[in-house]
Structure 1
Amino acid sequence: MKVLISTDIEGVAGVYHPEQTRAGNGEYERARRLMTEEANAAIAGAFEAGASEVLVNDSHGGFRNLLPDQLDARAQVVQGKPRYLSMVAGVDEPGIAAVCMIGYHSRAQGRGILAHTINSFAFARVWLNGQELGEMGIYGALAGEYGVPVAMASGDDVFIDEHRPLFPRTRFVQTKRATGHTAGISLAPVAACAAIRAGVAEALRAPLPPAFVLSGKIAVRIQTQTAALADLFCQWPSLERLAGDEIGFEAPTVEAAVRMINSLSAMSSMLR
Structure 2
Amino acid sequence: MKILISTDIEGVAGVTHAEQTGSGNPEYERARAWMTAEANAAIQGAFEGGATQVYVNDSHGSFRNLLLDRLDARAQTITGKPRYLGMMAGVDLGCDAVYMVGYHSRAQTRGVLAHTINSFAFRNVAVNGVAFGEAQLYGALAGEFNVPVALLSGDDVFLEETAPVFPGAVGVETKRAQGNGVCLSLAPERACGLIREAAKAAVANVADLRPFKVAGPVECELTTQTPALADLFCQWPMMERAEASVLRFRAESMQSVVRMLNSLSAMSFMLR
Q: TM-score, normalised on structure 1?
A: 0.99
Question: How far is the alpha carbon of 1:216 from its aligned partner?
Answer: 2.1
Pairs within 5 Å for 1:1-272: 1-93=1-93, 95-206=94-205, 207-272=207-272
**Which amino acid is 2:148 matched to?**
P
Percent of residue pairs bearing the same amino acid type: 61
**Contact 1:114-1:181 within 8 A present in 2 as well:** yes
Question: How far is the alpha carbon of 1:16 from its aligned partner?
Answer: 0.3
- 1:221 is paired with a residue of what secondary structure? strand
CA distance in 2, matches of 1:253, 1:87: 16
Q: 1:40-92: CA deviations, max 9, x gaps?
A: 00000100111110000000000000001000000000000000000010000
CA distance in 2, matches of 1:71, 1:203: 20
CA distance in 2, matches of 1:226, 1:15: 27
**Contact 2:216-2:251 within 8 A present in 1 as well:** no
**Which amino acid is 2:222 matched to?**
I
Structure 1: any 5+ residue segments left out of the alignment? none
- 2:213 is paired with a residue of what secondary structure? coil
**Contact 1:6-1:59 within 8 A present in 2 as well:** yes
**Contact 1:6-1:57 within 8 A present in 2 as well:** yes
- 2:20 is paired with a residue of what secondary structure? helix
Question: How far is the alpha carbon of 1:210 from its aligned partner?
Answer: 0.3
**Contact 1:44-1:197 within 8 A present in 2 as well:** yes
- 1:237 is paired with a residue of what secondary structure? coil
- 1:5 is paired with a residue of what secondary structure? strand
Stretches of 4+ aligned residues off by more than 4 angstroms: none
Question: How far is the alpha carbon of 1:162 from its aligned partner?
Answer: 1.0
Q: 1:131-168: CA deviations, max 9, x gaps?
A: 11100000000000100000001000001111111112
**Contact 1:128-1:221 within 8 A present in 2 as well:** yes
CA distance in 2, matches of 1:2, 1:186: 31
CA distance in 1, matches of 2:54, 2:166: 22
Structure 2: any 5+ residue segments left out of the alignment? none
Question: How far is the alpha carbon of 1:247 from its aligned partner?
Answer: 0.4
- 1:127 is paired with a residue of what secondary structure? strand
Q: TM-score, normalised on structure 2?
A: 0.99
CA distance in 1, matches of 2:216, 2:123: 25
Aligned residues: 271
- 2:90 is paired with a residue of what secondary structure? coil
